[in-house]
Chain A
Amino acid sequence: MNLEELLKKFQSIEARKSYRERSRRLIIAHTKQTKVPRLTLAQILFRGLETGSSIVLAGLLILIIAGGFSVGRFLTPFRFSSLNPEGLKAEAEAIDIQIRLSDLTYNEQLQAESTDALPKATLRPTAKKQVILNTENATIKNSTSSEPEPLGVEATLEELAR
Chain B
Amino acid sequence: MIDGEEQIVIRAIQGEASAFGLLYDHYQPKIYRFVLVKVSRREEAEDLTHQVFLSAWQNISRYEQRGFPFSSWLYQIARNQVIDFYRVKKGDIGLDTIDPETFESEDKLGMQTELKLEFARVTQAIQKLKPDYQDVIILRFIEDLPIKEVAAAMDKSEGAIKLLQHRAIKHLKNTLEA
A residues lining the B interface (CB < 8 Å): 1, 3-4, 6-20, 23-24, 26-28, 30, 32-35
Contacts and interface: CB of A to CB of B under 8 A. Distances in A.
B144 interface: yes
B57 A7 contact: no
Given A6-B122, A27-B54, A14 B105 contact: yes
B15 interface: yes
B70 interface: no
8 contacts: A3-B173, A10-B119, A13-B32, A15-B28, A24-B25, A24-B28, A26-B54, A27-B24
Contact of A7 (B32, B60, B137): B137
Given A3-B172, A27-B24, A12 B108 contact: yes
B33 A13 contact: yes
A28 B45 CA distance: 19
Contacts of B3: none
Given A4-B169, A15-B105, A23-B50, 19 more contacts: A6-B122, A7-B122, A10-B33, A11-B33, A11-B144, A12-B111, A13-B32, A13-B33, A13-B103, A14-B105, A23-B28, A23-B49, A24-B24, A27-B54, A28-B20, A28-B57, A30-B58, A32-B60, A35-B62
B95 interface: no
Contacts of A15: 28-29, 32, 45-46, 49, 105
Most chain B CB within a 10 A radius of its CB, from A1, A3, A26, A27: A27
B64 interface: no
A32 B61 CA distance: 9
Given A3-B169, A16-B106, A35-B61, A11 B53 contact: no
A34 B62 CA distance: 10
A1 B117 CA distance: 13
B20 to A, nearest CB: 7
B176 interface: yes
A28 B25 CA distance: 12
Contacts of A10: 33, 37, 119, 122, 142
Contacts, number: 97
Dominant SS among interface residues on chain B: helix
Nearest to A9: B115
Contact of A11 (B60, B143, B172): B143
Contacts of A13: 32-33, 36, 103, 105, 108, 119
B19 to A, nearest CB: 10
Given A8-B142, A27-B50, A32 B122 contact: no
A9 to B, nearest CB: 7
B2 interface: no
A26 B103 contact: no
Contacts of A28: 17-18, 20-21, 24, 57
A11 B145 CA distance: 12
A11 B37 CA distance: 11
